[in-house]
């Protein structure tokens, strides 16, 4: 074989190796992005479940009979509003195409109702009261903490997807396909000051 034949074979081998490496990188990047999108969808489902749990715990506290009627009505109304709103699903896949559906206002309203109803005096009475009030208060507190964690986890996942989708290789090769750019979920979820240690 001549020197020219060896040079062409070496160049061809290098070109093939580069093409294989590029194909592997694109495939890896696409599957990573797909996993990140799945993580966002899963975290939104988790947030939805925690919001339902918080609303149910609030409704249980409101119906327990340990609060005055006006406070019970305030909490029941806000909790019912939250339970009536659901995360929208587009299509048959329960994880794909979820949208928070403008629930931010309703969830902020429930947080505000909890802040108004659970003043330091009310919380102290519930903790000192019978087991029913203390138990209902613990469930509300636990559910509210889980909502905070689920929302932050979801927003972290959204930030990661958005960061990866800004990469030039992802945009140039359209690795995201037709997937929508996920949006963070922002609403007031701070616990009443009387519940924080």
Predicted confidence (pLDDT) per residue in 156-182, tens digit: 999 999 999 999 999 999 998 888 899
Which residues lie below 8 Å from residue 116, measured CB to CB, with a gap of 6+? Answer: 74
- Domain residue limits, the chain: 34-162
Helix (H), strand (E) at residue 28 = helix 3-62
Q: Model confidence at 131, in pLDDT bands (50, 70, 90)?
A: confident
Asked if residue 133 has pLDDT above 80, the reply is yes
Output the six-digit token pair for 195: 């519940």
Q: Model confidence at 132, in pLDDT bands (50, 70, 90)?
A: confident
Helix (H), strand (E) at residue 22 = helix 3-62
pTM: 0.86
Asked if residue 90 has pLDDT above 80, the reply is no
The mean pLDDT of the chain is 89
Predicted confidence (pLDDT) per residue in 18-60, tens digit: 999 999 999 999 999 999 999 999 999 999 999 999 999 999 9
pLDDT at res. 70: 95
Nearest residue to 143 (alpha-carbon basis) of 122, 114, 123, 119:
114
Asked if residue 73 has pLDDT above 70, the reply is yes
Q: Where are the alpha helices (H) located in 63-166, listed in sequence order?
A: 69-84, 104-117, 120-128, 131-165
């Amino acid at each position: 074989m001549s020197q020219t034949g060896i040079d062409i074979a070496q160049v061809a081998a290098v070109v093939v190796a580069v093409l294989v490496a590029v194909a592997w990188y694109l495939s890896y990047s696409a599957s990573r992005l797909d996993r990140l999108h799945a993580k966002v969808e899963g975290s939104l489902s988790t947030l939805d479940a925690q919001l339902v749990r918080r609303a149910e715990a609030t409704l249980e506290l409101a119906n327990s009979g340990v609060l005055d009627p006006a406070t019970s009505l305030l909490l029941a109304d806000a909790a019912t509003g939250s339970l009536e709103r659901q995360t929208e699903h587009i299509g048959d896949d329960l994880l794909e195409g979820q949208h928070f559906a403008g629930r931010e206002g309703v969830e902020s309203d429930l947080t505000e109702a909890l802040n108004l109803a659970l003043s330091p005096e009310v919380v102290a009475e519930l903790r000192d009261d019978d087991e029913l009030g203390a138990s209902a208060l613990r469930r509300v507190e636990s559910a509210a903490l889980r909502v905070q964690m689920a929302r932050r986890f979801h927003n972290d996942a959204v930030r990661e997807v958005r960061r990866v989708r800004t990469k030039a290789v992802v945009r140039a090769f359209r690795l995201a396909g037709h997937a929508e750019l996920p949006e963070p979920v922002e609403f007031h979820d701070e616990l009443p000051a009387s519940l924080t240690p």
